[in-house]
Structure 1
């Protein structure tokens, strides 16, 4: 198997939250794979233009894009290995958690880290990133970054639903990690790899859960250095 992921100017700066979901899903299933970190501007050439975004999983002749679709594919194709969802109901419920992450956590982190992301990219990717993000946001990166301190201050409150769940269970998946955990982990790993500012206190239940996630699968998450 080959998994195409996203990287900055250095191949070691693998920061995409969506790619991290797929990385953790493959480790969870115990499947051997080769990770191929790819820069933004190189993605359109991958696999004859199969997808405008990563992650993309190549499993033999099969290509699958989108982290959630990759996870569903892995559970359906390799049912003898540990489940990522715990059944069909788990898939449906995890969709709701994905929505919370996509529409609450990701926008907040984007506003905090826009300039950090830009600065970790290769020059040709910086031009692409600036143009595409400024068009999407309707403001320059610097204008968005002007509100950074307020966004950092208010970010922990956006994770209150995760804290609520962790009052009752060790993992978002219950007594063991599932793809639900990897969704939120991917977002916080994005911040860990790109942003040098600590966004959570060390005694925050979410921070402690995140540390447990970093230890999963022989420390796969810790294999990539944190921003400094």
Structure 2
């Protein structure tokens, strides 16, 4: 039985955009595992098997695992003879730090920049859910939340200086080769690439160069979904 990956999509089932789902996509390719995807809209997430209420969800035979990091740990334990996602126990703990940093530094900015673009790419029923849930949480309309977004790009790029310095000295966060830490950060930028046409990473930036390398990994898995027009 093929591995199944439930991943978040909008009105186009061929355009998954969740950063967490992209982490797992590349992790599966890193391990050399075949899988099939199951597209799920926002309003379909509560109905995914296992009842976790989140994506991604992975089914491997009789095993169902939710949460991207838990899935990576499952793949590492279940397929130890395939290339390692962490490069050892220390790498697993460092990946936890990278995930925490990414979700506190990159995700809030990407979410604010692409909020209306994500909404516009959803089916009407999901648009209603997305607008109501986000506007209730943030206390503003989606339109107000994205207003002046271009002015947020430069300060965001400054926040990324530690990442830029590292990637100016080595090809990947994992060193000469990518590890799950790379897929964590890649997922955040792929979320932006797939969801919004707003330019953020300037050409020649070491982060932009790294992102291009990540898009080419595993037969160009990241490029299978085109950038937002």
- Residue 28 of structure 1 is matched in structure 2 by 30
| Structure 2 counterparts to residues 38-77 of structure 1, below 5 A | 38-47=40-49, 50-77=51-78
Mapped partners of 2:83, 2:115: distance in 1: 36
Mapped partners of 2:166, 2:176: distance in 1: 12
State the shift of 1:52 in Å: 0.8
Partner-residue secondary structure (3-state), 1:57: strand
| Structure 2 counterparts to residues 133-212 of structure 1, below 5 A | 133-212=134-213
- Match 1:7 to one of 6, 9, 24: 9
Mapped partners of 1:50, 1:84: distance in 2: 27
State the shift of 1:163 in Å: 0.8
Mapped partners of 1:128, 1:158: distance in 2: 31
Query: TM (normalized to structure 1)?
Result: 0.97
State the shift of 1:181 in Å: 0.3
Could you list the runs of 5+ residues in structure 1 that have no partner in the other structure? none
- Residue 116 of structure 2 is matched in structure 1 by 115
Query: TM (normalized to structure 2)?
Result: 0.96
Runs of 4+ in 1 over 4 A off after TM superposition: none
Mapped partners of 1:137, 1:5: distance in 2: 25
Partner-residue secondary structure (3-state), 2:12: coil
- Residue 129 of structure 2 is matched in structure 1 by 128
Mapped partners of 2:34, 2:7: distance in 1: 15
State the shift of 1:154 in Å: 2.2
Could you list the runs of 5+ residues in structure 2 that have no partner in the other structure? none
Mapped partners of 2:154, 2:163: distance in 1: 18
Mapped partners of 1:127, 1:152: distance in 2: 28
